[in-house]
Structure 1
Amino acid sequence: MLPTPSSSTQATQLHRHIWQCKSLLADIHHQLDALDSGPESADITAKRTALQTRSSQLEGRLAILRTALAEALNKAQRAAAEPPVTPKTADRLPSDSQRASNQRASKAKGERTGKGADSKQPEGTAQPEAQTPLKEPGPPVSGKLEVTIKINQFPDEIKTVDNGWKQFLVDVGVKEVRITVRPKVFKKIEDAQANYPQWVAVITGQMGSPIPKGFILEQPNIQVFERKPKEATSEDSEL
């Protein structure tokens, strides 16, 4: 029988595939930035659509690879925790003749004490309930973890990084989330701050690499909505 790859070898391969997917996604994002900075045309629109489709496919594959990596790491930990079976343990197992002899001795002892197989329990004696062993859950299904953050205030500190991208932090209570977006995407928040008395921005993305006080939000997307103040009721106006 051919040897199967160990869990550690599989995890190494999955790490390499994940790195390749991230590199391809980064290249696609750079191409999209270049298209956004240029003039619009039918060819540019078609190319942008193809790149966005490819980006969605890579994100789905990246989620599957991350799930498979978690399974491989868990399998490796379980294998490391199980004690190996030594030949001495196998030598202590009884042979067929020993098992038959033990069964005959147990049956004879039960007949002498009146507790053989044919003996009946007194009436009114409760039968012990058989306990059903717990079953392990089946293999997990593939999924995609998405993070949703809502803000209604303009960020206090905004840093301009490579290629003019905007970077800012959002405090979500227990962690800080570092968000980096293209200037065209961040302009949605700038326009809302300038044009709306009240607004809310919905930021979605995937949990990325950890930072000292939180994590990085990968593939962020921002949608901005105007919030209209509630109208005062007639009773409030009379007061």
Structure 2
Amino acid sequence: MKRAMLSMVAAVLAGGVVACSPEPPQQDKASPEAAGDWTRPPVIQRVERAGSALVASGLAEPDARVVLRSDGGGAFAASADASGRFEIRLPAPAEHLLLRPETQVGQDTAPSPDRLLILAAGQGPIVVLRPGGPTRRLDAAPVLGAVDSDGRMRLASGRAPGLAQIEVRSGGETVQVDPDAQGRWSVMLAPHDGPDQIQVAGRDFNWPGEPGSPAGGLAVERIGSGWRVAWTGPGGARQATWLPDLGAP
């Protein structure tokens, strides 16, 4: 049975706007010492432009093969070094590109539940989508980097380097949240019908609401001052993600 991903995260929380402790960065979870005998999925930490190409880099099993697969069957791969660091060079896509990272060690394959999304041929946002969790922006983004939703709950997140605490306002509720050591923060917001204004650290953002189409697969649209993406995670659960522009009002 398909389940609403963010609703599962919020099942133990009371109604209203509830602050969440910032989730530790994935690279901390994937340090080489943490693997034990298990094959870890790779962690994408950066995507940078190199001429007409893009270079995705991150951390995986030492000496493992790291693969980024598209739904269309294309794949890009490289080997991690002895410390687990890897770089995968791929041509800048013609349009939008959604990739599934995986690690291969011998006969073992460890697919990641996350998805790497590159919008507008690399000219738009570049993000790591996380089922049931906050989207991680790899491009330049405002203090509110993303709003993830599943039709029931909303999860706002972003980065606020240098701020010890930020204030988030939505739907008449106000909450204080403490960013982590990397400046990342996330907070669960109450459900809201239609568009909503979300204020983060004194700056207003106009969330456009849920996408109207329940169709499967990847759906990307330019709406207001940002991008709205609908995608399908493991198990077939649908999640929508809004990515405000750096200069979004």
TM > 0.5 fold call: no
Q: Relative CO higher for 1 or 2, CA cutoff 8 Å, sep ≥ 6?
A: 2
Greater strand share, structure number: 2
Shorter-chain-normalised TM-score: which range? under 0.3
Query: Quick check: which one's helix share is greater?
Result: 1
TM-score (norm 2): 0.22
